[in-house]
Amino acid sequence: MEWSGLALLILVGIGIIATGLPAAYILIAVATIGAALGVFTGTIPFSLLSALPNRLINLFDNDLLQALPLYVTMGLLLGRLPVADALYRSSNALLPKTGSAPLVSGMLLGALLGPMNGSVGASVLGLTRVVAPRLNAEGVPAATRDAVIAVASTLGVLVPPSLVLILLSDAMLSAHTSAVTATGRADRVINTQDIFHSALAPAGIFLLLCVALAWWTGRSEELRPLHERVTRNEMVLAGSALFSLLALLGGVATGYFYAVEAAAVGAFALLSAGLISGRLPGPVLREVLSDAIAITGALFALLIAATTFTLVLRLLGTDRLVNNLVGAIPGGDIAAVAVVLGVIGLCAFVLDAFEIIFVIVPIVIPPLLIRVADARWVAVLVLLTLQSSFLLPPFGYALMMVRGAAKNPAPFRKFVQALLPFLMAQWMLLVLVLLVPKLVHIGEDAAANTRNPASTLSKEDFEKRLQEMLAPPADIEPK
């Protein structure tokens, strides 16, 4: 029955594409089919399904999940307040008066507000509202406009403390714990702050590449910038917002603030500013809070459904199959990581980043970390792959959101052509980090990642420790 789990994964992908239903519905339905199949064939004793309630209770006994509704609320508030508009206009006023200025300002705005927006969808909506009209007014082709907005909306994925980064950090912590337990290595299990810090250098490199490409695109198209006057109040608002956001992001990235604390402070500050300025009257505030509850509920529903689905796969023995397949990958660390990243990239054609984190990462990353000791390196590579999935034609989430939000979307072929330089830069960065693991350890002693760096395991030791990891856990032992 081990291979039946892979068939269930394929069924999930088909269901998402064919029905258009939310992924949580498809995951629950397929998990039910898998559980029924396992019970009917005798593979899964019915009593083992009683482990599900305990797993769900333990799942929500996690303080980090408190950050989700707070960051969702921050993203919605940023869409209602004039912060983004003031930052964009002020950036245009300070940059050299060339056709590249609006494109560069859009990229910088995406990098600054993306982590606070909490999600790529919120960033797309915000940038479409603020940036798209001005790019249209300056004669920017629709394809270039849509490409810049799509790329800028994903920059926040790499910058702490984005929702994707928070959720991936939690998944990597669980995966690394399982791997350390199985191998007996003396590694220090990575935490959220470790991954935040490790992502900073790759995020900075990609931001510089995107800004350079935006500047070059503006120069090559010989755009004529608008000379809008920026009021003193707008400059003050932009300056105070810039200082606050950089302090908040810097505090989280360097470990002075926890993600939940930063989210609470940011949401409270935006809410207070909106109420004091009168921009959040009762009906608007109720709409914002209602949307925040709906989006948060959708994320939690997906988390519950994915946890149920992965439990069924585990009971069917699919995790053992995947572990054996990962263990059989020939070559060293780079080869093993490249193959697993390729699998995640294929999943990105039918699953979005959150679904990959909740469903795929718990299956393929623990056995990978048995072979590869550098968990930070693996975490950043997975993060870069997830960020790339948002822009992956033809079903990338950012692409679909941009085309849905734009009033006059560009023809898809021209859109992809304008996006191609940014995709190439993204893939080049992914390959660079894959070949140069030290990039994720800039600013720290790479040896600090583990107390005793893992020595190369023999094939016999690897098989022995893999079987120890696969021993049935106590929480699903039959009574």
Please tell me the distance from the alpha carbon of residue 403 to that of residue 149, in angstroms, as a whole number. Answer: 10
Please tell me the distance from the alpha carbon of residue 370 to that of residue 469, in angstroms, as a whole number. Answer: 10
Please tell me the distance from the alpha carbon of residue 414 to that of residue 226, in angstroms, as a whole number. Answer: 25
Tokens found for residue 38: 């396992």
Q: Which pLDDT score, from 0 to 100, does residue 421 have? A: 93
Residues comprising the chain, all counted: 479
Report residue 210's pLDDT band, with 50, 70 and 90 as the boundaries.
very high
Cα distances (Å, whole numbers) of residue 475 to 44, 49, 133, 311: 14, 10, 55, 11
Indicate if the pLDDT at residue 145 is higher than 80.
Answer: yes
Does residue 471 fall inside a structural domain?
Answer: yes
Please tell me the distance from the alpha carbon of residue 195 to that of residue 165, in angstroms, as a whole number. Answer: 8
Report residue 476's pLDDT band, with 50, 70 and 90 as the boundaries.
very low
Tokens found for residue 394: 């033809």
Does residue 131 fall inside a structural domain?
Answer: yes
Does residue 196 fall inside a structural domain?
Answer: yes
Q: Which pLDDT score, from 0 to 100, does residue 211 have? A: 92
Mean pLDDT is lowest, of 19-33, 95-109, 246-260, 312-326, for: 246-260
Give the HSE-up count for residue 48: Cα atoms under 13 Å, Cβ half-sphere.
21
How many structural domains are present in the chain? Answer: 1
Does residue 298 fall inside a structural domain?
Answer: yes
Q: What is the pTM of this model?
A: 0.80
Does residue 27 fall inside a structural domain?
Answer: no
Indicate if the pLDDT at residue 352 is higher than 50.
Answer: yes
Determine the angle formed by the axes of helices 2-19 and 23-41, rounding to 10 degrees.
Answer: 150
Mean pLDDT across 308-324? 84
Please tell me the distance from the alpha carbon of residue 247 to that of residue 261, in angstroms, as a whole number. Answer: 13
Please tell me the distance from the alpha carbon of residue 120 to that of residue 126, in angstroms, as a whole number. Answer: 10
Q: Which pLDDT score, from 0 to 100, does residue 59 have? A: 73
Report residue 328's pLDDT band, with 50, 70 and 90 as the boundaries.
confident
Mean pLDDT is lowest, of 117-131, 153-167, 395-409, 450-464, for: 450-464
pLDDT > 70: percent of the chain: 89
Tokens found for residue 87: 């930052």
Mean pLDDT across 201-228? 81
Determine the angle formed by the axes of helices 412-435 and 333-347, rounding to 10 degrees.
Answer: 160
Cα distances (Å, whole numbers) of residue 118 to 255, 326, 386: 19, 33, 15
Does residue 25 fall inside a structural domain?
Answer: no
Structure confidence by residue, pLDDT tens digits, 434-453: 999 999 988 665 334 433 33
Domain hosting residue 217, numbered range: 48-476
More confident residue, 203 or 130: 203
Secondary structure string (H, E, C) spanning the chain = CHHHHHHHHHHHHHHHHHHCCCHHHHHHHHHHHHHHHHHHHCCCCHHHHHHHHHHHHHHHCCHHHHHHHHHHHHHHHHHHCCHHHHHHHHHHHHCCCCCCHHHHHHHHHHHHHHHHHCCHHHHHHHHHHHCHHHHHHCCCCHHHHHHHHHHHHHHHHHCCCCHHHHHHHHHHHHHHHHHHHHHCCCECCCCHHHHHHHHHHHHHHHHHHHHHHHHHHHHHHCCCCCCCCCCHHHHHHHHHHHHHHHHHHHHHHHCCCCHHHHHHHHHHHHHHHHHHHCCCCHHHHHHHHHHHHHHHHHHHHHHHHHHHHHHHHHHHCHHHHHHHHHHCCCCCHHHHHHHHHHHHHHHCCCCCHHHHHHHHHHHHHHHHHHHCCCHHHHHHHHHHHHHHHCCCCCCCHHHHHHHHHCCCCCCHHHHHHHHHHHHHHHHHHHHHHHHCHHHHHCCCCHHHHECCCCCCCCHHHHHHHHHHHCCCCHHHCCC
Structure confidence by residue, pLDDT tens digits, 164-205: 888 888 889 888 988 888 888 878 888 888 888 888 899 899
More confident residue, 152 or 259: 152
